[in-house]
Structures are given as C-alpha cells and as structure tokens.
C-alpha cells in the first residue's frame, strides 16, 4: 500500500493544522496506507534557521520524503500565505525532493478571505520541488478544527465531509498511479538485469 508522510507546518503547540493533518492521516491509515508524521516545530530550530540540511534530524526527514509516495502538507495561513516555519523546512530540501510524489496541500485559517493562499502561495513552491501532481488542496476554518481530539472528532461536522472527500481524492490519485509506478519499477528492473 502507498506510503504517506503528513507534515504540519504550524509553530503552535496546540495546533489546529496539526489536528487536521493528523485527522487526514487517520483517514488514510484506515484505508491501509502506511502513514508517518512530522511536525516542523519538533525539528531543531538551529538547523532550520541556519539552513543546515546535514543535521541528522533534517536528513531523517529527507529520507522519509524519499520513502513516501505522497505527502500531505498542512500549514496555517499566516499573513495571507503559508507559515514561515514550513518554508524553513522546504528551503532545506533537495531541489527535486518531491519529484514523482503526489502532494496534497491543506490549510487552516481564521477567515475564508485567504482560502486561495494554498494556490497562489504554497502550490508554486511545492511544484518547484519537482512534483507534477499537486492535488486540489483544502482549506478549513480554524473554528471547525479542535485541538482536543486527534483523529476522529478533530474536524467539526460542518467541515468533515469536505475533508473526507479531499482524503478520498488522494487515495484515488495514489490508486490511479499504482499501475504506472509498478510499470516504472519493472522498467527499472529490466534495465538493471
């Protein structure tokens, strides 16, 4: 089954973004996806701020990205864009770290005024990291996400259907790319022998 890395780019200790990302991770795990999670706030600040990609913790994230078939990248909307914390990690990744990956962007925010931040701010950066498959993202109002409950119950009824459909789109996209992935790995195998 596909491997998925969920990433939370929020600096908050009680983070709605993290709850949302974890909730989507739980939906994927329930469909037998192998899910790992990284919260950028838990990575060493000195490595993020000094751009130290050789730090063991950053190297581990890069290896987990290599392991992943897909990433769910969540950010709070800050000043009409994604968080600076998320950018500190993205800036440390190899130039084409997301090549061949499916990426689902998610955002939480206080107002729908900035719902497009996913598309005008985050999407171009993800694309620049080499992926051809950034799915249509999803924005959830902060008041519709709880920090009390992780997984089921984190997302209020008003937002639950949209989030579930968004997770389903990722599942469908990964299932659709399974055939070409297997074919590509067979081609690699054929070249190797």
Ligand X SMILES: Cc1cc2nc3c(=O)[nH]c(=O)nc-3n(C[C@H](O)[C@H](O)[C@H](O)COP(=O)(O)O)c2cc1C
Q: Does 166 bind ligand X (CB under 6 A)?
A: no
Q: Does 10 bind ligand X (CB under 6 A)?
A: yes
Between the alpha carbon of residue 31 and those of residues 25, 26, 28, 172, the distances in Å are 10, 9, 5, 11
Q: Which stretch binds ligand X (CB under 6 A): 9-17, 59-67, 95-103, 169-177?
A: 9-17
Q: Does 77 bind ligand X (CB under 6 A)?
A: yes
The pattern of x and - marking residues 30 through 69 that bind ligand X according to CB under 6 A reads ----------------------------------------
| Binding positions for ligand X, 94-123, rule CB under 6 A | 108-111, 114
Q: Does 84 bind ligand X (CB under 6 A)?
A: no
Residues that bind ligand X (CB under 6 A): 10, 12, 15-18, 76-80, 108-111, 114, 142
């Amino acid at each position: 089954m596909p491997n998925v890395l969920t990433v939370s780019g929020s600096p908050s200790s009680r983070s709605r973004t993290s709850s949302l990302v974890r909730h989507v991770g739980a939906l994927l795990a329930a469909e037998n996806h192998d899910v790992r999670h990284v919260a950028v706030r838990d990575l060493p600040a000195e490595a993020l701020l000094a751009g130290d990609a050789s730090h063991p913790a950053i190297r581990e994230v890069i290896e987990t990205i290599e392991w992943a078939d897909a990433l769910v990248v969540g950010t709070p909307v800050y000043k009409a864009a994604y968080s600076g914390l998320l950018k500190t990690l993205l800036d440390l990744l190899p130039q084409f770290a997301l090549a061949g990956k499916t990426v689902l962007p998610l955002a939480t925010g206080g107002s729908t005024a900035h719902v497009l931040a996913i598309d005008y701010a985050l999407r171009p950066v993800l694309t620049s990291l080499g992926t051809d498959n950034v799915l249509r993202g999803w924005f959830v109002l902060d008041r519709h996400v709880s920090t009390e409950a992780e997984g089921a119950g984190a997302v209020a009824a008003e937002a639950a259907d949209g989030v579930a459909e968004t997770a389903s789109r990722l599942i469908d996209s990964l299932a659709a790319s399974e055939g070409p992935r297997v074919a590509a790995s067979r081609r690699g195998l054929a070249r190797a022998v």
